[in-house]
């Protein structure tokens, strides 16, 4: 072995290397823009009248698992064969990453994004997505009425995408620890559970606390957890700061939360049905989930079309394909979420009896009224006033809560 | 560094005997030009690395600094090119950023001290006590973990530290209470110290290995005890190696955001996490750029002090 006669030279190299790493953060995206317009910048773009020949490729940004090669009935391979559109998929880890990806580089790399409601308005008002002609999607007629024009993707009757799936943010708990099933979000703020709690580690989690406060403290007059004035917002942030000492860890990816529960590090937290399904099928710990009496936040996902999409015809082929009952059912079962196409229920039952009810695909309007779907907090409150706390303030507050 | 560039000394025209005008029949004009103008030859040789350094590295650093003085449109998160100092003002005035910067620097310092304390006896043994065979074996043992993925090693620590992990289980099985340090700042300190230890051992070893035996013999001849010799001869001569190693451990910890994400709990954010969130979550590149100036400044101060302590003279 060569003796390290020159080992002293290494540090100088390392010092330079460290500086290079720091420099990589530099970016020079530069577009000047005026403050928030009332009307989305792409509102007057005319959507396609008919679907033409495919362009041979389709570049998608998705939630991990949303474009899954393991699907079989039908498979993504069969989509590629039928349409000649080759799928290039990028998995994003958060709504915020989706917005970042769509906004950076001037667009033009991506055709579509499976954005959740908390990202949609940012994409729409950022001019990153364009109107979609829903009459070209035959299965649109079979959607549950709520998801034909949900407020997070449809503005003034213009559709900026086609609804895909939805799900609630449930209260997940360890059945051994909680012999009496909790019925309120209270457990996440209870000193008795110090060090046993996990919640979602992104700014939109503030809405969960606001929803709880809307019932717990009616004098604050919170009607919509995404439309908070300064006083309501401060009270919510305060509650979350009190919650922080109880938190073992803020979870980012679903897999993180699953291992936190399986290793016994946490006993209760907020979760997606996906985690519950995985934990139940793993069988290492006894868990259950519930929608507490205060209701729950939820997410509704939408396939949106990029303003500068290079393959619009393939994009419409994709919209048609993901809206069919078969694909809706396949995705719902593989991800543990609820399809927006009402016809998917029967297909789910044929694959896995009981699944339609398990995933609330037959949900009544009463169930819906419990769920406040994610949407981007913007200055305009629903009541016409313009003093609601905007999303960038949510992000800053979240940094100070979790730091 | 400039002094090292003139490696071509023996070949410059000034040292050749035949200085008369030479009509070289076959040589191309450009080659002749290079022959006559040694500075041009150096320039051509250095141009590619220099261009890389200036364009890729300095230019991106400059862009970073410029971006830090811009802002974003609050709603669409598009960059607005209006010159202002708001980003820096926020960093200075908001206590939360002081907390995060303080935590990042403090843990980096603790990790550096821990690694120095662990590395010194190890490197001393390797350099001055161990046989050649043992030395080779120890070197492999130190460097082997670097072959495995960083992520694999961090995840291994999660398995050790979590609630049902090896550590708690070990403590329980000998009748002690579980330390339960999973997802805490203590866990981060432990994992960082483990991950960056080889980067301290190697330079300290280098410094100790070059220590002339004659100095220790002289110390013994003059009546110094072994401890006295260690304190007055070995430690001062090893110090530049320790400082060189500390530049690694300190800067690597300072810039890391993966271990805080995976090992840290609530209240474990590092500067790198806040920078990452400002890029990935809020798409606020100007603020991220302003935050990125902080570690540059901290490292600048650190390197300045390290230089004063002689870390670079010993290279």
pLDDT digits (tens, 9 = 90+) for A258-281: 999 999 999 999 999 889 988 998
Instruction: Assess whether pLDDT exceeds 80 at residue A306.
Output: yes
Q: How far apart are CA B66 and CA B293, in angstroms?
A: 11
**Domain-wise residue ranges, chain A:** 57-166+299-362, 168-298+379-402
How confident is the model at residue A106, as a pLDDT? Answer: 63
How confident is the model at residue A27, as a pLDDT? Answer: 33
Q: Which residues of B touch A263 (CB under 8 A)?
A: 162-165
Mean pLDDT of B246-269: 93
Q: How far apart are CA A196 and CA A249, in angstroms?
A: 9
Q: Who wins on pLDDT, A368 or A256? A: A256
For B52-97, what is each residue's pLDDT tens digit?
888 888 898 898 889 999 988 766 667 888 898 999 999 999 999 9
Q: How far apart are CA A318 and CA A307, in angstroms?
A: 16
Superfamily of domain B87-308: MetI-like (1.10.3720.10)
Q: Which residues of A touch B139 (CB under 8 A)?
A: 1
- Among B77, B84, B100, B296, smallest CA distance to A401 is for B100
Q: Which residues of B touch A257 (CB under 8 A)?
A: none
Instruction: Assess whether pLDDT exceeds 60 at residue A164.
Output: yes
Inter-chain CB proximity A36 and B245 less than 8 Å: no
Q: How far apart are CA A107 and CA A316, in angstroms?
A: 18
**Domain-wise residue ranges, chain B:** 2-53, 87-308
pTM over 0.95: no
Partner B, chain A 263-302, Cβ-Cβ below 8 Å: 263-265
How many Cβ atoms from other residues are within 10 Å of residue B217's Cβ? 11
Of B264, B284, B295, the CB nearest to A22: B295
Q: Which residues of A touch B72 (CB under 8 A)?
A: 392
In Å, what is the CA distance from B174 to each residue of A73, B163, B165, B177, B182? 54, 16, 15, 9, 19
The yes/no answer to whether this complex scores an ipTM above 0.85 is: no
Helix (H/G/I), strand (E/B), else coil: A291:
coil
> Do residues B102 and B177 lie in contact, with contact meaning Cβ atoms separated by under 8 Å?
no
Instruction: Assess whether pLDDT exceeds 70 at residue B106.
Output: yes
Q: Who wins on pLDDT, B8 or A48? A: A48
Q: Which residues of A touch B277 (CB under 8 A)?
A: 395, 399
How big is the A-B interface in CB pairs under 8 Å?
203
Q: What is the DSSP letter of A7?
A: G
> Do residues A290 and A187 lie in contact, with contact meaning Cβ atoms separated by under 8 Å?
no
Q: How far apart are CA B289 and CA B88, in angstroms?
A: 10
Residues 6+ apart with CB under 8 A from A274: A167, A254, A335, A336, A337
Instruction: Assess whether pLDDT exceeds 80 at residue B4.
Output: no
How confident is the model at residue A31, as a pLDDT? Answer: 34
CATH fold of the domain at A57-166+299-362: D-Maltodextrin-Binding Protein; domain 2 (3.40.190)
- Say if A38 is an interface residue toward chain B (CB within 8 Å): no
Inter-chain CB proximity B77 and A99 less than 8 Å: yes
Residues 6+ apart with CB under 8 A from B134: none
Instruction: Assess whether pLDDT exceeds 90 at residue A367.
Output: no
For A44-101, what is each residue's pLDDT tens digit?
999 998 999 999 999 999 998 888 887 777 888 889 999 999 999 999 888 888 988 8
- Do the domains at A57-166+299-362 and A168-298+379-402 have one common CATH topology? yes
Instruction: Assess whether pLDDT exceeds 50 at residue B168.
Output: yes
Q: Tokens 């996490």 belong to which residue? A: B273
Which residue of chain B comes nearest to A41, CA vs CA? B76
Q: How far apart are CA A145 and CA A163, in angstroms?
A: 11
Lowest mean pLDDT among A269-283, A327-341, B28-42, B288-302: B28-42
Instruction: Assess whether pLDDT exceeds 80 at residue A349.
Output: yes
Q: Which residues of B touch A28 (CB under 8 A)?
A: 63, 67
Mean pLDDT of A28-41: 49
Q: How far apart are CA A129 and CA A304, in angstroms?
A: 6
**Both tokens assigned to A204:** 């939109």
Q: Tokens 């934990």 belong to which residue? A: A279
How many Cβ atoms from other residues are within 10 Å of residue B176's Cβ? 10
Q: Which residues of B touch A15 (CB under 8 A)?
A: 247, 251, 299, 303
B/e letters for A287-322, b = 16+ CB within 10 Å, e = fewer, are bbbbbbebbbbbbbbbbbbbbebbbbbbbbbbbbbb
> Do residues A249 and A260 lie in contact, with contact meaning Cβ atoms separated by under 8 Å?
yes
Determine the residue among A3, A7, A188 to mutate to test chain B binding: the one whose Cβ has the most chain B Cβ atoms within 10 Å.
Answer: A7
Q: How far apart are CA A8 and CA B241, in angstroms?
A: 7
The shortest C-alpha distance from B195 to chain A (Å) reads 16
The shortest C-alpha distance from B164 to chain A (Å) reads 5
> Do residues A376 and A182 lie in contact, with contact meaning Cβ atoms separated by under 8 Å?
no
- Say if A22 is an interface residue toward chain B (CB within 8 Å): yes
Q: Tokens 């317009």 belong to which residue? A: A37
How confident is the model at residue B315, as a pLDDT? Answer: 52
Partner B, chain A 116-155, Cβ-Cβ below 8 Å: 122, 125-127
- Among A135, A208, A202, smallest CA distance to A170 is for A208
How confident is the model at residue A358, as a pLDDT? Answer: 79
Mean pLDDT of A376-388: 84
Which residue of chain B comes nearest to A264, CA vs CA? B163
Lowest mean pLDDT among A384-388, B133-137, B166-170: A384-388
Mean pLDDT of A220-243: 95
B/e letters for B68-97, b = 16+ CB within 10 Å, e = fewer, are bbbbbbbbbbbbbeeeeeebbeebeeeebb
Q: How far apart are CA A275 and CA A336, in angstroms?
A: 8
Q: Which residues of B touch A255 (CB under 8 A)?
A: none
Question: Mean pLDDT score of chain B, rounded to an integer?
Answer: 86
Instruction: Assess whether pLDDT exceeds 60 at residue B26.
Output: no
- Say if A380 is an interface residue toward chain B (CB within 8 Å): no
> Where does the pLDDT of residue A34 fall: very low under 50, low under 70, confident under 90, or very high at 90 and above?
very low
Of A25, A103, A244, the CB nearest to B289: A25
CATH architecture of the domain with range A168-298+379-402: 3-Layer(aba) Sandwich (3.40)
> Where does the pLDDT of residue B25 fall: very low under 50, low under 70, confident under 90, or very high at 90 and above?
low
Q: Tokens 């979790």 belong to which residue? A: A402
Q: Which residues of A touch B210 (CB under 8 A)?
A: 5, 8
Which residue of chain B comes nearest to A122, CA vs CA? B76
The shortest C-alpha distance from A7 to chain B (Å) reads 5
Helix runs in chain B, H state only: 29-36, 38-51, 59-67, 86-93, 95-124, 132-143, 150-161, 166-173, 185-209, 213-221, 226-229, 235-255, 258-262, 271-280, 285-308
Percent of chain A with pLDDT over 90: 60
The shortest C-alpha distance from A35 to chain B (Å) reads 6
- Report which secondary-structure segment, H or E, holds A173: strand A170-174
């Amino acid at each position: 072995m060569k003796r390290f006669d020159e080992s002293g030279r290494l540090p100088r190299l390392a010092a330079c290397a460290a500086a290079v790493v720091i420099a990589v953060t530099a970016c020079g995206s530069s577009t000047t823009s005026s403050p928030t317009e009332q009307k989305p910048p792409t509102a007057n773009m005319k959507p396609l009248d008919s679907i033409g020949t495919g362009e041979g490729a389709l570049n998608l940004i998705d939630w991990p698992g949303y474009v899954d090669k393991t699907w079989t009935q039908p498979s993504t391979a069969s989509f590629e064969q039928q349409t000649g559109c080759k799928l290039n998929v990028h998995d994003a880890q958060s709504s915020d990453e989706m917005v970042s990806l769509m906004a950076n580089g001037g667009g033009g790399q991506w055709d579509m994004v499976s954005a959740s409601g908390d990202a949609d308005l940012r994409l729409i008002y950022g001019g990153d997505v364009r109107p979609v002609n829903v009459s070209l999607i035959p299965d649109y007629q079979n959607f549950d009425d709520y998801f034909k024009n949900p407020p997070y993707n449809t503005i003034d009757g213009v559709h900026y995408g086609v609804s895909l799936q939805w799900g609630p943010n449930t209260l997940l708990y360890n059945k051994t620890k909680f012999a009496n099933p909790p019925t309120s979000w209270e457990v996440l703020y209870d000193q008795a559970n110090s060090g046993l709690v996990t919640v979602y580690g992104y700014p939109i989690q503030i809405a969960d606390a606001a929803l709880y406060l809307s019932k717990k403290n009616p004098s604050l007059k919170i009607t919509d957890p995404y439309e908070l004035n300064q006083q309501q917002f401060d009270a919510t942030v305060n509650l979350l700061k009190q919650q922080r000492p109880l938190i073992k860890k803020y979870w980012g990816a679903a897999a993180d939360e699953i291992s936190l529960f399986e290793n016994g590090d946490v006993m209760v937290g907020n979760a997606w049905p996906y985690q519950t399904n995985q934990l139940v099928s793993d069988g290492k710990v006894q868990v259950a989930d519930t929608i507490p009496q205060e209701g729950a936040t939820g997410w509704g996902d939408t396939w949106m079309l990029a303003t500068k999409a290079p393959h619009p015809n393939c994009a419409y082929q994709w919209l048609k394909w993901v809206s069919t009952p078969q694909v809706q059912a396949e995705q719902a079962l593989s991800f543990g979420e609820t399809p927006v196409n009402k016809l998917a229920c029967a297909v789910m039952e044929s694959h896995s009896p009981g699944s339609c009810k398990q995933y609330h695909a037959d949900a009544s309007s009463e169930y819906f009224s419990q769920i406040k779907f994610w949407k981007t907090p913007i200055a305009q409150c629903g009541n016409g006033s313009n003093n609601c706390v905007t999303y960038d303030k949510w992000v800053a507050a979240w940094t100070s809560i979790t730091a | 560094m400039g002094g090292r560039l003139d490696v071509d000394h023996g070949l410059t025209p000034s040292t050749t005997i035949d200085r008369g005008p030479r009509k070289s029949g076959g040589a191309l004009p450009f080659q002749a030009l290079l022959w006559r103008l040694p500075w041009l030859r150096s320039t051509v040789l250095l141009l590619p690395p220099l261009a890389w350094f200036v364009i890729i590295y300095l230019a991106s650093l400059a862009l970073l600094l410029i971006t830090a003085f811009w802002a974003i449109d609050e709603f669409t998160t598009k960059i607005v090119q209006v010159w202002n100092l708001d980003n820096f003002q926020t960093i200075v005035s908001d206590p939360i950023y002081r907390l995060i910067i303080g935590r990042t620097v403090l843990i980096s310092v603790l990790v550096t001290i821990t690694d120095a304390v662990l590395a010194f006896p190890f490197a001393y043994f390797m350099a001055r006590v161990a046989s050649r065979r043992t030395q080779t074996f120890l070197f492999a043992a130190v460097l082997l973990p670097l072959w495995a993925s960083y992520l694999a090693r961090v995840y291994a620590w999660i398995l050790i530290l979590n609630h049902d992990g090896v550590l708690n289980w070990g403590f329980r099985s000998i009748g002690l209470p579980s330390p339960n340090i999973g997802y805490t700042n203590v866990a981060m300190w432990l994992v960082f110290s483990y991950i960056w230890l080889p980067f301290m051992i190697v330079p300290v070893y280098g410094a100790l290995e070059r220590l002339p035996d004659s100095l220790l013999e002289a110390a013994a001849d003059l009546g110094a005890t072994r401890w006295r010799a260690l304190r007055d001869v070995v430690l001062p001569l090893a110090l530049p190696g320790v400082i060189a190693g500390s530049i690694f451990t300190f800067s690597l910890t300072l810039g890391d955001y993966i271990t805080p994400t995976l090992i840290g709990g609530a209240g474990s954010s590092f500067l790198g996490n806040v920078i990452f969130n400002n890029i990935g979550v809020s798409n606020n590149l100007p603020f991220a750029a302003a935050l990125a100036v902080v570690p540059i400044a901290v490292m600048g101060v650190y390197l300045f002090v390290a230089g004063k302590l002689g870390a670079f003279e010993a290279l």
